[in-house]
Amino acid sequence: MKKSASSAPGIRVGIGGWTYAPWRDNFYPAKLPQSQELGYASRQLSAIEVNGTYYSSFKPPTFAKWRDETPDDFVFSLKASRFSTNRRVLAEAGESIKRFVDSGISELGHKLGPIVWQFMPTKMFDAEDFEAFLALLPTTVDGLKLRHVLDVRHPSFMSPNYLKLARKYQCATVFTDSPDFPSLADLTSDFVYARLMCSEAKLKSGYAPKALDAWTAATQSWGQGREPENLPRLEPAKAKVPPRDVFVFFINGAKEKAPAAAMALLQRLGFKPPE
């Protein structure tokens, strides 16, 4: 399988999913068979966040198929099953967590990226129950190291106590530019995960050039071991931190513009699709 040209070591940029009708004859070439959309998308981007795993269960052959259709250095981020996170008592999620992790995701091999655990906007931070949930998250599956991301959406998570727990269990926190959810740029793990949700239909690339320039600078800062100072956080930015892997996904907003935004950011980062 031919490799794609990485934008920079440890930096991945992509979109949510690859099956979306408005992307046909827009992002995808005219008359491209739907069966070839993943193969095409994975050669224009360096990662994809899979949303379908949040709603449905997939079998091992499906994950293996995704692995085989994409370049060697491509990465899939998986959204974990909603049955794990959409519950009143998170401490009781053990069986659902195990069912998801053991569903065959290890078939992705080295293409398995972070797992996103998304919580309902109504789910408030309860330190005891939340820590019980974090303690249930496995660190490996079939010999593969797992990286976990917490997509917390209630304002009560904007708390030093939440940051302390996320760091204790080495879970990243989703950073989003959406005004609808908490935006925490505070680092809680050894990688960064951003979901950018404010693309606009009227803009060619979904984001204005200056905004894309700013996200390029932030992405490079994270990757090089600096904390961007102009992002919301609970704690002051540190001038120097260990370099981190960075995952940036353009999600929602004017979704039809997501591929253009991702490719515009990748271009700024020096990414060149394989020939």
Domains of the chain, earliest start first: 11-268 (3.20.20.410)
Is the CB of residue 71 less than 8 Å from the CB of residue 26?
Answer: no
Contact of 198 with 246, CB cutoff 8 Å: no
**Residue 102 neighbours by CB under 8 Å, 6+ apart:** 141
Position 6 pLDDT exceeds 90: no
Confidence of residue 275 (pLDDT cuts 50, 70, 90): low
> In angstroms, how far apart are the furthest CA atoms of the chain?
53
pLDDT for residue 133 is more than 60: yes
80, 92, 96, 168, 193 from 137: Cα distances, Å? 11, 12, 11, 12, 18
What is the pTM (predicted TM-score) of this model? 0.95
φ/ψ region of 37 (left if φ > 0, alpha if ψ in -120 to 50, else beta) reads alpha
Tokens 């690859």, residue? 18
- On the question of pLDDT at 3 being above 60, the answer is no
Return the residue matching tokens 């994975």: 42
User: Residue with structure tokens 């680092």?
Assistant: 187
> Are 262 and 250 spatial neighbours (Cβ–Cβ below 8 Å)?
yes
Q: Is the pLDDT of residue 201 over 50?
A: yes
Helix axes 258-268, 37-44, angle to 10 degrees: 30
pLDDT 10s digits, 230-241: 899 999 999 899
Average pLDDT, the chain: 94
Type of residue at 240: K
Q: What is the pLDDT of residue 180?
A: 87
Residue 221's H or E segment, with its range, is helix 209-224
| Crossing angle of the two packed helices 258-268 and 209-224, in degrees rounded to 10 | 60
